[in-house]
Chain A
């Protein structure tokens, strides 16, 4: 049976049906044997979804024409306005879909013990959130996409409001919702305006129109429209300085929700829609975004340096890491874009592991305040091992996944043609110093030295089998993605090459013309041979 044409629908249906079934299952508080039934159900559903998504990399056609989508399902839905049920996958979205599906069962395991009241509500919302995320990654019709985009806000808001950690949860939820919702409203206006102009919501058609300059609007109007898109996405990422919602949302949200809170949805949307429909406008604003990315890296890590609350530290660490992606993709170089997309994967996995580990600490000791910790390494040898591996991946240690992304991003930004790119590269690269600083300091304060106040009062235990099961897949991926990156970048590169500008040489001042020529020759030969070798690999 050829699943290729319905696989995406199946991927969406699985969590949707699962959510419906869980919602119908009665709440089971009190009975000790039945109390896990929603969790078990959600685990099954997410595993099935993950299995389905693995179909994509297994059958992905790497030699496909550029700008085409695969596993397409394109059915008219509403005649007027012309809305289509149009789904598809390319090198950009494929691994993101697998990533989202991969994190879901881990998220369920991470909630296994921490969520023990209102489990029906929790897991139903969790699966709906899953539907929304997967939908965002596969939708190729702007209207359909917008539906999933809005859908992604609601379960997350409710998860924060209902399952937040402290009394502050409702405030955090409202803040998150407003930050996401208001720009989304502007996004809707922009989408409708675009429809008015072109008569279509269909992304491939819009992309083709944009490429041939066939969208009939003044440059200013198009720029404004592109900004409406960009700002909506940038808040969701979040891009500095639009990260006002992040700290509180991260502090409050339960582990399973915080794992998918920031990063990939907004970043993917920028790559897909801002870059797809507004290639020129995106290049126009690129210097600003490069600057914001570089500043975000430094800003995030400098603030993380002084935070003693682990969750807040993690929030600014997240800001710093997503800023790397922003810096990379707006360079419009192959290295920057490929590295940026790869870094979305890394950032999500590393962030997930980090938040799980913080959750484990909280589960045992009931605090996120580092000052209460200390000397845990002897008590939790496995936990400290996992922590250190995660932190090293986050700090960009070579042979772990974070390095490949950061290296490509910063190499790309050094090649960029944008104004002051050398300065922004230097600022971005300084993140390696401060990133290592706050991460290692955190490790020291929590795990080394003498045993802290809190652990002295409360006995803690090392990782349980379930916790091992949550963490091992992630840490294994850090290592595998760190040494075998081509396995993932191969698909990403098909997107990167069509999105980036033609490679241009960084020319030092004072280089004579003849020398430049020789260089270009040598470089082009090298690029050719590089490509040949690259194809061999394929």
Chain B
């Protein structure tokens, strides 16, 4: 295997971005799509080659390629260098495979959109950065991908930039991610100051060789957690992801469900050596994950926008993966990352197909009874709903079960509590997913032609309109509900197959499998503080699996009861428990709290204290003028009017004297 092929994996999508980004505007749509697909298929093909190579090589895989330096100063250097190990290989497979399928789907979904070329250029740009992220062999190069996918996400969320809500959502995503990046950057500065390098191999081998004082590593680990919380939408930075649904649905599937948002989990797993040396940081990760999983699931129960339900479900599932990493079960976390990529991408694409069928409708209150009208969408989505709810033998069952089981037997003092939260979340997940399923596909159709038309008019008038821009109904589409074209349904079918069988690579020994997935990752996580699997009994594992399955069935039962059997029940409950419902409906008021207690005070501080008082008043030397005019006092005004120059000179002298005084006298007062 020629390792220099590794360079092609990210650079091909980049080439696609450059071509479509510069001349795509003038190219016919078919050509734009062909270019984008080709430059995504080729890396997928190379990754397939890598898999075959790895199978034939047999030995643990570790390929590296290095090129010229990116940054080089005396004593510090970072090269452009990629490394492939088993973890990277899985990520590569998920990113290129799911990515390619979503590209195909987009050809159909975006067919009627303005800015077709722009969409595919950005999508390829995203692939480039995401592949750099998983291939990077150093923190700094990982950060390139990390920020780059954030950029692509910003551009794609704001794809319909004439819509204020979309532009806002894009900006919010970028800035909230920047808060996480701030932590990531500080962690890197500490690493550079301490190790003089940012290469994974260099840093991790040194940490393993000479364990440092826990405090220092904990600081780095916690800063990295902040970064991961931003990218993977965990508490307290998850607020951008639901808003990111403003982007086109394929973007939500690719970036905000299957790949980019899992970067935080990948990063924690990649840095597991560091985290293993800081039990405190791991505990923080586990608690953040569990809390996020539960909180997002509760919000998901009351959302009415089909994409928002899926968004909160993504946040919740990411919390699951975080929790897995936090108890040291990295391979379980990555396993769930993979199965989640399959079924969540499918859920979004199927939801997109529903929206497409209903000419832009996203509100589940206006759906219903669709299962006969769009059978392929219905059956594929059903597979995904069963998978995410953790029903045997769908993929989600195995990965979720692995996480719950590993949590239960983890030596952490919080193990049982975390397990209970995970179990509860599993039940809630089954509930809200089947709520979505029943409301969308069963019962009476709540979108008869007339009501639908009226609603369309209302949507048109409303600010949150997606209709005018997304899935514009053309003449053929305007009449009646219709199944999506083949170019959209084929990816759905393939993803549905993966959602069913994707978990079978990780069937635990207790259920008669070999857990090949975990063994595959053993070379990467060999030293991880994973709980000793052998120690636990198969009986316990089967019992736990049964319990979680039962919980899921219970969730499904309630969903069936509330939304199929007695459709009025939910509304009644909402009335009865109005405060709770309101709290959930308003997403715990978190956005409002951030706005009230962080953003508004900060802007006020900038405006009044910094800009008004300090800058205009003192630094710019017009403070005297301001005071004089407000008071209307005599001599000051005359002085200002006649002697601006003198006042500047005076203020300047005062400023300079202050600096000199600080330097001369104040400086010694500072501790060294």
Please determine whether B75 and A503 come into contact, CB atoms closer than 8 angstroms: yes
Bound CA span A288–B614, Å: 19
Residue of B nearest to A519 (CB): B210
Q: With A231-B660, A527-B196 in contact, do A444 and B171 touch (Cβ < 8 Å)?
A: yes
Bound CA span A384–B171, Å: 15
Per-residue B-contact encoding for A257-269, CB less than 8 Å = 1, 0 else = 0000000000000
Which among A178, A399, A426, A511 is the interface contact of B212 at CB below 8 angstroms?
A511
Please determine whether B69 and A508 come into contact, CB atoms closer than 8 angstroms: no
Contacts of A381 in B (CB 8 A): 25
Please determine whether B620 and A378 come into contact, CB atoms closer than 8 angstroms: no
Bound CA span A353–B2, Å: 42
Contacts of A527 in B (CB 8 A): 74-75, 196
**Distance between A280 CB and nearest chain B CB, rounded to angstroms:** 14
Q: With A241-B619, A244-B621, A425-B189 in contact, do A485 and B603 touch (Cβ < 8 Å)?
A: no
Contacts of B196 in A (CB 8 A): 503, 523, 526-527, 530
Q: Which residues of A from 382 to 437 have beta carbons under 8 Å from B?
A: 392, 397-399, 404, 407-408, 410-411, 413-415, 419-420, 425-426, 429-430, 432-433, 436-437
Q: Which residues of A from 223 to 242 have beta carbons under 8 Å from B?
A: 223, 227, 231, 234-235, 241-242
> Number of residues in B with C-beta < 8 Å to the partner?
83
Residue of B nearest to A510 (CB): B213
Bound CA span A400–B610, Å: 30
**Distance between B610 CB and nearest chain A CB, rounded to angstroms:** 5
**Distance between B590 CB and nearest chain A CB, rounded to angstroms:** 18
Per-residue B-contact encoding for A514-538, CB less than 8 Å = 1, 0 else = 0100110011001100110110010
Residue of A nearest to B79 (CB): A533
Which among B71, B167, B662 is the interface contact of A489 at CB below 8 angstroms?
B71
> How would you classify the secondary structure of chain A's contact residues: helix, strand, loop or mixed?
helix
B535 within 8 A of A: no
Bound CA span A227–B99, Å: 59
Q: With A287-B667, A440-B171 in contact, do A432 and B182 touch (Cβ < 8 Å)?
A: yes
Please determine whether A288 and B158 come into contact, CB atoms closer than 8 angstroms: no
Bound CA span A381–B656, Å: 46
Which among A182, A243, A306 is the interface contact of B606 at CB below 8 angstroms?
A306
B671 within 8 A of A: yes
| 9-residue interface stretch from A1-9, A29-37, A447-455 | A447-455
A497 within 8 A of B: yes
- What is the number of contacts between chain A and chain B, taking CB atoms within 8 Å? 242
| 9-residue interface stretch from B57-65, B335-343, B399-407, B646-654 | B646-654
Q: With A404-B71, A436-B178, A537-B69 in contact, do A530 and B185 touch (Cβ < 8 Å)?
A: no
A303 within 8 A of B: yes
Name the residue among B74, B212, B620, B658 with the largest chain A CB count within 10 angstroms: B74
Contacts of A518 in B (CB 8 A): 210
Bound CA span A378–B163, Å: 12
Residue of A nearest to B144 (CB): A398
Please determine whether A534 and B193 come into contact, CB atoms closer than 8 angstroms: no
Q: Which residues of B from 34 to 80 have beta carbons under 8 Å from A?
A: 68-77
B140 within 8 A of A: yes
Please determine whether A449 and B167 come into contact, CB atoms closer than 8 angstroms: yes
Which among A429, A441, A490, A523 is the interface contact of B182 at CB below 8 angstroms?
A429
Q: With A419-B670, A436-B175, A483-B70 in contact, do A244 and B664 touch (Cβ < 8 Å)?
A: no
Q: With A244-B621, A510-B215 in contact, do A533 and B182 touch (Cβ < 8 Å)?
A: no
B206 within 8 A of A: yes
Contacts of A339 in B (CB 8 A): 73
| Size category of the binding interface on chain A | 35 or more
Please determine whether B202 and A526 come into contact, CB atoms closer than 8 angstroms: yes
B589 within 8 A of A: no
Bound CA span A392–B129, Å: 15
Per-residue B-contact encoding for A321-337, CB less than 8 Å = 1, 0 else = 00000000000001100
A54 within 8 A of B: no
Residue of B nearest to A531 (CB): B74
Contacts of A287 in B (CB 8 A): 667, 670, 672
A338 within 8 A of B: yes
Contacts of A497 in B (CB 8 A): 74
Please determine whether A303 and B611 come into contact, CB atoms closer than 8 angstroms: yes
Contacts of A440 in B (CB 8 A): 154, 171, 174-175
Please determine whether B190 and A407 come into contact, CB atoms closer than 8 angstroms: no
B640 within 8 A of A: no
**Distance between B595 CB and nearest chain A CB, rounded to angstroms:** 14
Per-residue A-contact encoding for B192-233, CB less than 8 Å = 1, 0 else = 111111000010001000101101100000000000000000
Name the residue among A450, A497, A506 with the largest chain B CB count within 10 angstroms: A506
Contacts of B161 in A (CB 8 A): 377, 447-449
B151 within 8 A of A: yes
Contacts of A430 in B (CB 8 A): 182
Contacts of B195 in A (CB 8 A): 523, 526
Per-residue A-contact encoding for B592-622, CB less than 8 Å = 1, 0 else = 0000000000110111001100110011110
Residue of B nearest to A238 (CB): B619
Contacts of B216 in A (CB 8 A): 508, 510-511
**Distance between A294 CB and nearest chain B CB, rounded to angstroms:** 13
B148 within 8 A of A: yes
B417 within 8 A of A: no
Please determine whether B619 and A493 come into contact, CB atoms closer than 8 angstroms: no
Contacts of B71 in A (CB 8 A): 404, 407-408, 485-486, 489
Contacts of A441 in B (CB 8 A): 171
A358 within 8 A of B: no
Contacts of B672 in A (CB 8 A): 287, 419
A375 within 8 A of B: yes
A299 within 8 A of B: yes
Q: With A183-B656, A231-B656, A489-B72 in contact, do A375 and B162 touch (Cβ < 8 Å)?
A: yes
**Distance between A337 CB and nearest chain B CB, rounded to angstroms:** 9
A55 within 8 A of B: no
Which among A182, A305, A338 is the interface contact of B73 at CB below 8 angstroms?
A338
A365 within 8 A of B: no
Please determine whether A284 and B667 come into contact, CB atoms closer than 8 angstroms: yes
B23 within 8 A of A: no
Contacts of A397 in B (CB 8 A): 147-148, 151
Please determine whether B190 and A414 come into contact, CB atoms closer than 8 angstroms: yes
Name the residue among A171, A339, A508 with the largest chain B CB count within 10 angstroms: A508
Bound CA span A505–B76, Å: 13
Q: With A299-B610, A335-B73, A444-B171 in contact, do A449 and B164 touch (Cβ < 8 Å)?
A: yes
Contacts of B215 in A (CB 8 A): 508-510
B-side interface residues toward A, CB under 8 Å?
Answer: 25, 68-77, 140, 143-144, 147-148, 151, 154, 158, 161-164, 167-168, 171, 174-175, 178-179, 181-182, 185-186, 188-190, 192-197, 202, 206, 210, 212-213, 215-216, 602-603, 605-607, 610-611, 614-615, 618-621, 644-645, 648-649, 651-653, 655-656, 658-660, 662-664, 666-667, 670-672
26 contacts between A and B (CB under 8 A): A175-B648, A178-B645, A231-B656, A231-B659, A244-B619, A244-B620, A288-B659, A303-B606, A306-B611, A338-B74, A392-B151, A399-B148, A414-B189, A415-B193, A433-B178, A433-B182, A436-B175, A449-B161, A486-B68, A489-B73, A497-B74, A508-B216, A509-B213, A527-B196, A531-B74, A537-B69
Q: 20 other contacts beyond A231-B656, A234-B659, A288-B662, with CB at 8 A cut-off?
A: A182-B649, A182-B652, A241-B614, A242-B655, A244-B620, A244-B652, A287-B670, A288-B659, A306-B606, A407-B71, A425-B189, A447-B161, A448-B162, A449-B164, A449-B167, A486-B70, A508-B212, A518-B210, A522-B206, A526-B202
Q: Which 3 residue pairs are nearest across A and B when measured between Cβ atoms?
A: A448-B167, A508-B216, A506-B193
A-side interface residues toward B, CB under 8 Å?
Answer: 171, 174-175, 178-179, 182-183, 223, 227, 231, 234-235, 241-244, 247-248, 284-285, 287-288, 299, 302-303, 305-307, 334-335, 338-339, 375, 377-378, 381, 392, 397-399, 404, 407-408, 410-411, 413-415, 419-420, 425-426, 429-430, 432-433, 436-437, 440-441, 444, 447-450, 483, 485-486, 489-490, 493, 496-497, 503, 505-506, 508-511, 515, 518-519, 522-523, 526-527, 530-531, 533-534, 537
